[in-house]
Amino acid sequence: DPVFSPQGIQSLDATIRRLANDLIDEVIDRRECEFTTAYGRPLPVSIFLDLMGLPQAMRDTFVDWAVGLLHSTTYEGMTSAFAEIVAYIKQAIAEKTARPDDRVISRIIQGRIDGRAMNDKEIFGFVVFLFIAGLDTVFATMNNMWLWLAENPDRRHEIIARMTDSP
């Protein structure tokens, strides 16, 4: 898929830098932060929302739903969060069906499996799977990477040196 090709990812460079700088500016303004909530979660989630074609204004709501679904300690908390996700995803699919764009949800809706259009159940399942994975799995992986870099300064400096050595 072109969205996830090297060229597609490279085309996100300016957006990712802008998002990263905006989040850093907020931390500078406050002069302190809790890394996960100030930067570690918002950055990958914001990038994911752009890819999917979902509204940034709902970022914190989406994260709350994903956390409620995957990390709640009660059945009621999980089912409530999942009900919110289901209702929203159905609405988003309907909107993207009526007004497609070049983002991932629209591409899924227009996608084909062995030449046939996907049915509503397949589209819904695909979008829900990506929604949950993009909100929780990507964030958790990125936070583990940032923690590792914080705990391994020699490797961090090596990576930075490599970045400045090549375009």
* Contact between 45 and 59 (Cβ < 8 Å): yes
Element (H, E) at 128: helix 120-132
- For residues 131 and 163, what is the distance between their CA atoms, to the nearest angstrom? 31
In tens digits, the chain (167 residues) has pLDDT values of 677 788 888 888 888 999 999 999 999 988 888 888 888 889 989 989 999 999 999 999 999 999 999 999 999 999 999 999 999 999 999 999 999 999 999 999 999 999 999 999 999 999 999 999 888 887 888 888 888 999 999 998 998 888 876 55
| Nearest alpha-carbon partner for 92 in 73, 113, 106 | 106
DSSP reduced 3-state for 83: helix
